[in-house]
Chains A and B, each alone.
Chain A
């Protein structure tokens, strides 16, 4: 049995611009993997291509099945969760309704119940019946993550969860990431803040010019001055 997620030769385009030019990487069962790279390098596009939101070319295997070309809802139903970077909450629906929509069917039971979400983040319970649109940025980020977890994914792809958040919120996000990992769920994390990525990841990938330019453990990454200079620092 191969890796949980195996991406090989992934290409993606926006119109004529060729964004992903042969991306290869894997995520193993129960692993936290970070995808790093400069702004605009195509990290979000990689995740969207895996979800089928951007048409992918190449091979994407999840749990041994080829998912490139499947529809987004079919991919999600196989157990792939996605937390978008722009916090696509449903603003006119309440917090509770947002969470309910995370479940794939009315009777779904999985590793997460709404009470788990409220336990990690009591603020969501206090605001359960307010429209999600009035929450603060940090609260919306938590809601987006919790909503995806309600669908009981086996692998969550989380795009820049701490972007623009206050330090206290960043800590909460990190705590939730820890909880996810504890339950044996794999995480593919796109994160700007190296401190978090280095602390929780087992492996890191760095993207540049439309493909992967580095793969290694956090220790190897820290040792490799050249990679950071060439592909991350501005």
Chain B
């Protein structure tokens, strides 16, 4: 039991931190520009593919550094030459643009790397056991992922809270026009935030790729969860996105680990009260738990946990 709790907590926090690496950019971008970027998870995917491509040519570490930068560059260019032009035509046009972009990116990935998963592996330097608790081992690579995610988190907070650009970003979250009229180059700040948001998602892809599966459907699988995270946390709230990421990370990991059902808990009465539902295991419903959470939060608090605007 103790080992299940320890490992599920570690994995849940890890999954949550990865979610946050993506959700933070998504929620910042939404709050500033009013754009819900459907292509955000695609940056995660191309991060993984760029990481794979670089790692098989020159090695994992160059990929770890270069791939996120490349993805960030792609993101900044998309903002500068795509979104900014579409912006004049309103939010619907922007939504359609990012929606289309997600499909284009997925098809491009299909074209270059095929539909099957690619062989993106954990680098040998990190391919060992970090520690062993009872009979279960924990891979070092996962500790590395966790450390990277935490480092990025600290980096993000420092930028936002300790620098002048961070101050401008915070103000532009709610009053972009006023910030511009004080003489700050808000369009460039938007491009920067979009680029950094894309780079963070890309970095998440680079480190998650070897641990999970690098395949063209990875963006599509992750996208909906990201939206759940930022809506549950409250659109535009970083604190909210952080807590919602951890919450969903932990809930999903624990749900998979706890392989019990109502039947196991209260015996045969479960079947009489709940019918077939009584014997459904928690692990079986794990995939829908985030959406269940979403519905509950929207009913109880339509603005999300930390949001102050209607979703």
Contacts and interface: CB of A to CB of B under 8 A. Distances in A.
Contact of A71 (B167, B182, B187): B187
A106 B181 CA distance: 17
B150 interface: no
A155 to B, nearest CB: 13
Interface stretch (A21-29, A33-41, A92-100, A164-172): A92-100
B181 A51 contact: yes
Contacts of B167: 93, 97, 100-101
Nearest to B176: A72
Nearest to B178: A88
Contacts of A77: 183
A26 B178 CA distance: 24
B85 interface: no
A104 B184 CA distance: 6
A53 B177 contact: yes
A90 B175 contact: yes
B179 interface: yes
B182 A102 contact: yes
Contacts, number: 58
Contacts of A62: none
B292 interface: no
Nearest to B175: A88
A102 B178 CA distance: 10
Contacts of B116: none
Contacts of B35: none
Contacts of B104: none
B227 to A, nearest CB: 24
B182 A76 contact: yes
A99 to B, nearest CB: 11
B175 to A, nearest CB: 5
B171 A93 contact: yes
A145 to B, nearest CB: 13
Nearest to B184: A73
B170 A147 contact: no
A216 interface: no
A102 B181 CA distance: 10
Contact of A93 (B170, B183, B184): B170
A82 B175 CA distance: 14
A147 B187 CA distance: 21
Interface in B133-189: 164, 167-168, 170-171, 174-175, 177-187
A138 interface: no
Contacts of A51: 181
B179 A101 contact: yes
Given A71-B187, A88-B175, A90-B175, A53 B168 contact: no
Interface of A: 51, 53, 71-73, 75-77, 82, 84, 88, 90-93, 97, 100-102, 104, 106, 147-148, 151
28 contacts: A71-B180, A71-B187, A72-B180, A72-B181, A72-B186, A73-B181, A73-B183, A73-B184, A75-B181, A76-B180, A76-B182, A84-B178, A84-B181, A88-B175, A90-B171, A90-B174, A90-B178, A92-B170, A92-B174, A93-B167, A101-B167, A101-B171, A101-B182, A101-B184, A102-B182, A104-B184, A151-B182, A151-B183
Interchain residue pairs A-B with the least CB separation, the first 4: A76-B183, A104-B183, A88-B178, A72-B180
